[in-house]
Amino acid sequence: MGLLVRPPRLWRRPSLENAAGQPPGPGTGRRGAPSRCRAGPGRARRAPRAAGASVFPRAQTLLRKLKRRTTARILVLGLDNSGKTTILKKLSEEDISHIMPTQGFNIKSLMQDGFKLNVWDIGGQKSIRPYWRNYFDQTDALVYVIDSADSRRMEETATELGQLARSARVDEAKLSEIPVLCFANKCDLMNAMEEEEIEENVNPVLKGRNFKIQKCSAKTGVGLQDGMEWLVDQLNNGAD
Ligand SMILES: Nc1nc2c(ncn2[C@@H]2O[C@H](COP(=O)(O)OP(=O)(O)OP(=O)(O)O)[C@@H](O)[C@H]2O)c(=O)[nH]1
Ligand SMILES: [Mg+2]
């Protein structure tokens, strides 16, 4: 467990600088590539390579992509008591019989389908929620945990998720693009809500986002792998 301070970056996303340490300009990479329109008769000429530019810009870009695809930072949020820490421990095959409410955060590294996932589990108590945004930076995917046996707080959890999605849109361009896995946890309990009821609350607040609602139980483990596999698929597909 840690204190509620701004977390250090575990890894730095590779920058888009070329070998000369400059941002990509025309002809130095996919984003900066000039259009293929013709300037006049005959074929358009390539701009001469800038002095010091790498001979293998494409190979470098590819290497960066491959590197990015092996590590990801995952943020786990959700109301208190929803089961975030239990899910994380179950995924790490640790004992889940004595879990205390999280006052700060827990970090774990998990291997999933060749990915190293650095997972940040942040406490969900009301007094801690204002600190959630301190952890948005450099996040590649959000796991949002819902206690599906707590229908009384369904509205509250959907509101928090909606606020996250909205504030992320305004302040954190990156968080607005990342995939969201909603774990509908505690499906082992008799009073767990039906999937439709959870969808009714979650779908409107995540409209337009890449998300999945996955029924699961941190207690039995059911659904956890399915959810994580979906997440890694999105990370693979989304790496540009
Ligand atoms: N039956 C059942 N109980 C669960 C499940 N997941 C978690 N719990 C229980 O729910 C309680 C809360 O779990 P935590 O993992 O501490 O919840 P949390 O979301 O981390 O809570 P905070 O750290 O306060 O934000 C614990 O008593 C767990 O044993 C589940 O899938 N089924
Ligand atoms: Mg916890």
What does the pLDDT look like over 58-67, one tens digit per residue? 666 666 655 5
Report the relative pairing of strands 71-78 and 115-122 from DSSP bridges: parallel
At 107, list the tokens.
């970090």
Would you state the pLDDT for residue 62? 62
What does the pLDDT look like over 156-215, one tens digit per residue? 999 999 988 876 554 555 566 789 999 999 999 999 999 999 999 999 999 988 999 999
125 in catalytic set: yes
Share of the chain above pLDDT 70, in %: 66
Q: What are the strands, taking DSSP E only, across the chain?
A: 71-78, 105-112, 115-122, 141-147, 180-185, 211-215
Pocket, ligand 1, Cβ cutoff 6 A: 78, 80-86, 99, 101-102, 123-125, 145, 185-186, 188-189, 217-219
Would you state the pLDDT for residue 68? 57
Lowest mean pLDDT among 5-9, 36-40, 104-108, 152-156: 36-40
Q: How far is the CA of 99 from the centre of ligand 1 (A)?
A: 8
Q: For residues 185 and 148, is the Cβ–Cβ distance under 8 A?
A: yes
Provide the residues around ligand 2 (an ion) whose CB is within 5 A. 84-85, 102
Q: How far is the CA of 84 from the centre of ligand 2 (A)?
A: 5
Whole-angstrom distance, CA of residue 113 vs CA of residue 76: 19
- Which ligand 1 atom sits closest to the C-alpha of 220? 31
Catalytic-role residue among 22, 103, 125, 163: 125
In DSSP notation, 5-26 reads SPPPPSSPPPPS--TTS----T
Go through the chain and tell me how many residues it has: 240
From 75, 77, 81, 107, the mutation candidate for ligand 1 (largest count of ligand atoms within 8 A of CB) is 81
Provide the pLDDT confidence category of residue 56 given band limits of 50, 70 and 90: low
